[in-house]
Amino acid sequence: MLDLEYRKDPDLDFLEFVPGYELADLVKILTTNGANDKYSFQELDDDLRFKSSKDPHSCWNLIAAELQTFGGDTRANFLRRMFKDGSGITYAELLDDALDVIGFKSDAKNLKKKEEDFFKGCYTRMNNSPPVDFSGKAIKTLANEVWKNWKQFWKKCPVSIKNKIPLIGDNIISGPKYQITIPSILYVVGLRKEKKELADKYNILSNVSLGIIGMQQSGKSTYLELLRNGEVKEQGRTFGEVPYEAFQAKVLGINVEGGVDIAGGDANVNHYSEYVMNKERILFFFNAKSYLMPDESNLDYAEKCQARFHYVYEKIYKDGMAQKSIKFIGTHIDEMDESDRICAKDKIYDSLVSTNAEFAKMFSENPDALFVTDLKHAQWSDNFEGYIHLMKFTLGV
C-alpha cells in the first residue's frame, strides 16, 4: 500500500492552522462510524507517521489526504499516487459531488456560498426545516449528528442506492464513501466558518492593503510572515525591495493585497510616500529596546527614529493622508527586563510628546497609535492571545 499523500489544495491548506483538539474530532469522523467502530478500510490510523504523532495538528496534511482519498475512486486514487499527484480529489470536487448527492441544487460560483448551501441542504434533510443558526459551532454540531445518525440522514437523500452506495470491503472499494465524506465536509465547513468568526469577533478587517515601513531590522518581514502564516520559520534580513503577492492570512482568514516588503535603510525613506500610496493601513516598525536602551553601536537610535517620524508626519500624515490609519509598533521588548517591558510603551510615548515637535501630534492626538510587542514569541501556536492582540492592533477596524 502506498502512503497517504496530500494533494496540494488551497481550500484545505487552512487546516494547518487548526488546533489539534479540533482536528481530533475530524479524525474520529474519518476513521470510525457513529458507534465508534473503526473502519477497516481507512488508512490514516495505519500510517506510521500518524501513529507516531502525539498531536493531530502535526499531521494535518495526512488528515486532509484521508478526506481527499475517501472522495475519490480507489482505482483513480492509486494512479494519482503513482504519479505523485496526491491521494485523491480536491475539496472543490468533493463539495460539488456532495451537493449533488444530497440533492441540493446550488448555482453558487464561489466556495463560501457553496458551503452555505451544503450546510443548508444537510440541515434541512436532517431536521425537515431550514437552519436559522449559521455559526461554525452549529455547523460542526450538525456534522456530528449526521455522522452518528447516518442511516437516518441517508434515507432522506434523494439518490439511488444502486448508483450511489459503493461496494465496500477490506480491499475492494470503489467510489466515494459518502458516509465519511459528507459529515467530514460539514466539519471542515464549520472549521472554516469559525476562522472567519474569529476575525469578526476581534473586529479585524476582512480585506486590507498594507504599507509597511520602518527602521532596519525592526520586524517588518517578521510581521508579514506572522500575518501570512501565523508563524515565522526563517527570520532573515530584507535587502532592497521584495514584492509579495496577495494572500489569505491562514490564521485569520482575511485577504491581504499584494505589496512590497522594503528594507529599512535610509535610502528608502524618500520613497515612503509611494510605498504607502493608496494603502488602507500604514504600519511603521522600530526597535523599542534600542529606542529606550541603545547600545554603543547605536547611541542615536531614538533620534534616528524621530527623524523618520518627522518625515512620516510631513509627507504622509499632513499631505492628504491624515485620515489614514497610521500605527507605530515598537518591537524587541523580549530583550528587556520584565520591569522595563511593562513601562516601555509609556516611556516611549512620554519621550515623543515631550519633544514639542510637530510629529508628536501623531501620538498626542491618538495615543492608541503606539504599540509595543514581542514578535519573536507572537506565533499563534505559542501565544495565541499575544498573536490576536498584535493583529487586532494592526488590523482592527
Domain 207-395 has CATH 3.10.20.740: no
Domain ranges of the chain: 13-199, 207-395
pLDDT of res. 16: 85
Is 394's pLDDT higher than 80?
Answer: yes
* pTM exceeds 0.85: no
Which whole number is the average pLDDT over 70-90?
52
Q: Which of 44-58, 185-199, 343-357 has the lowest mean pLDDT?
A: 44-58
Residue range 184-211, pLDDT digits in tens: 999 999 999 988 888 788 888 888 999 9
pLDDT average, residue stretch 231-260: 81
Percentage with pLDDT > 90 across the chain? 45
Residue with cell 501570512: 228
- The residue whose grid cell reads 473503526 is 38
**Rounded-to-integer distance, Cα 31 and Cα 39, Å:** 6
pLDDT band with cut points at 50, 70 and 90 for residue 12: very high
SS3 295: coil
Give the whole-angstrom CA distance, residue 118 versus residue 103: 10
pLDDT at 141 over 50: yes
The confidence score (pLDDT) of residue 163 equals 43
Residue 188: the pLDDT is 96
Average pLDDT of the chain? 84
Provide the β-strand partners of residue 285.
214, 329
What's phi and psi for 316, nearest 5 deg?
-120, -55
Of the listed ranges 29-33, 45-49, 171-175, 233-237, the least confidently predicted one is: 171-175
CA-atom Rg of the chain in angstroms: 26
Helix (H/G/I), strand (E/B), else coil: 294: coil
Residue 1, classified by CB atoms within 10 Å of its CB into exposed (0-12), middle (13-18) or buried (19+), is: exposed
DSSP, collapsed to helix, strand or coil, labels residue 281 as strand
How would you write 186-249 as a 3-class SS string? HHHHHHHHHHHHHHHHCCECCEECEEEEECCCCCHHHHHHHHHHCCCCCCCCCCCEEEECCEEC
> What pLDDT does residue 47 have?
78
Lowest-confidence pick of 34-38, 361-365, 369-373: 34-38
Q: Could you say which DSSP state residue 314 is in?
A: I
Give the pLDDT score at 55.
79
Question: Does the pLDDT at position 327 exceed 70?
Answer: yes
Q: What is the pLDDT of residue 168?
A: 41
d(CA 328, CA 368): 9
Predicted pLDDT of residue 2: 56
